[in-house]
A and B are shown apart, each in its own frame.
Chain A
């Protein structure tokens, strides 16, 4: 069981959260959509697994390197 930190690469605003804690996700699935400079930037699951922890909610501001979720793979 590996715990993987899913990080954001940009500063922006959390526009949509597509998952809940406990959800089963697959590699490449959209977890969260950020909004920055009029662009939507989806954050994808790096592996198949379960959302162990969700650290952000819609409307939050994220900075580069912030952990948005932890996936147990």
Chain B
């Protein structure tokens, strides 16, 4: 029982392979036609094709991936993040084929995948949730004003079928509610074929803070402290860090402990992340969702706690993970992660695929970690997401970590694709960032400062999926 298939590509596949090697396990990679020469293919002991370049025809085809797993004699399937990682159908198929899924039970994936059910479960476990209303069908708005009063203002009218910022309207005063509710219903009916709406409290000055959790499947679970991921652009995280800057210790303690109790309540198994929206003014926090997989920004937690979360996932799947006591998890210092994207900030962050003619990242040290799935000469194709590398650093204090990251970013030399490296430097140097003043509106608010004098050269709107 020593072979792990990694159902992913890029940096996360490489990172999982590293942990497998440390544990003495052999590895099987899968690849699309576009990735035949990919770094993850070179690093794995074996590698097999799963289809054409388009993820829909390769990495997302559960049958193709499962077939490789069975034919290669793999015992475990690690899904990484994205692709099939939150497909309970795939997780079930893996288990029904007699293999071991490195992740939570299909039931947990389903419970947390349904946003309404997740909210109910969180509530039942004593986790604060955003004040919200029941759903309103088209034309059934008789009680909406009472519902608005119960939720509080300002509030958002949200289309049930919407998401990612689409189908959402802000209501600042009670007298606007009925009119906006009606027009949102009619818009949602046209756009999604479903005019159902609900109300949710709006937090104008919000932060995104999440808690890394790890459950043992028997009702025991621990937390590995928080990560602040407030620096986002169009729902895409850019910089993540731990400790969350300026978060009062009492709030932090409460947040990490409710996250752990949610996992205990769920008899959750493996690594997960409980996401919260935090009011940056009052530090009230509310459950957003739980991600039932390893997360892109997990290295931030690993650097502060000295853990190997992927290694823990695999040992748990092997039923060889010794019990871990909450008290043994000690958070030290401060860690920051910067995501290097192949995109052009001067052109409204337009994607920038192309050849990595030159690709030099800082050297790894005790305090600098590089997670990357590319080498010089590789092609960054337009088929997959634009993240090409993550730089993670650790230091005693936040100020020192910022300085260390700035030094590392200055060592980045990439030619052939445009990147956000200078944009990241501008974020880290910004007065508000340095003085712990972060929020999900940070990038939008300071955009002219962050992209320098260059005005966006296009009015094209990008929609991130």
Contact = CB atoms under 8 A, between A and B. Distances in A.
A58 B461 CA distance: 20
Interface string B65-108: 00000000000000000000000000000000000000000000
A41 B347 CA distance: 12
Interface in A10-68: 10-13, 35-44
A12 to B, nearest CB: 5
Contact of A37 (B382, B459, B460, B461): B382
Contacts of A13: 382-383
A10 B464 contact: no
Question: Across chains A and B, which 6 residue pairs bring their CB atoms closest together, nearest first?
Answer: A37-B351, A36-B382, A37-B386, A36-B351, A40-B463, A38-B385
B465 interface: yes
A43 B460 CA distance: 7
Interface residues of A, number: 15
B142 to A, nearest CB: 38
A37 B463 contact: no
Interface in B185-211: none
Contact of A9 (B350, B382, B385): B350
Contacts of B460: 9, 41-44
A39 B347 contact: no
B382 A11 contact: yes
Interface of B: 342-343, 347, 350-354, 382-386, 458-465
Contacts, number: 53
Given A38-B386, A42-B461, A44-B460, 14 more contacts: A9-B460, A10-B350, A11-B351, A37-B342, A37-B384, A37-B385, A38-B464, A38-B465, A39-B464, A39-B465, A40-B462, A41-B462, A43-B460, A44-B459
Contacts of A9: 347, 350, 458, 460
Nearest to B386: A37
Given A9-B347, A43-B460, A44-B460, A38 B384 contact: yes
A43 B384 CA distance: 20
B382 A41 contact: no
Nearest to A12: B382
B56 to A, nearest CB: 11
Contacts of B383: 13
14 contacts: A9-B347, A11-B353, A12-B353, A13-B382, A36-B351, A37-B353, A37-B384, A37-B385, A38-B384, A39-B351, A39-B462, A40-B463, A41-B462, A42-B461
Contacts of A37: 342-343, 351, 353, 382, 384-386
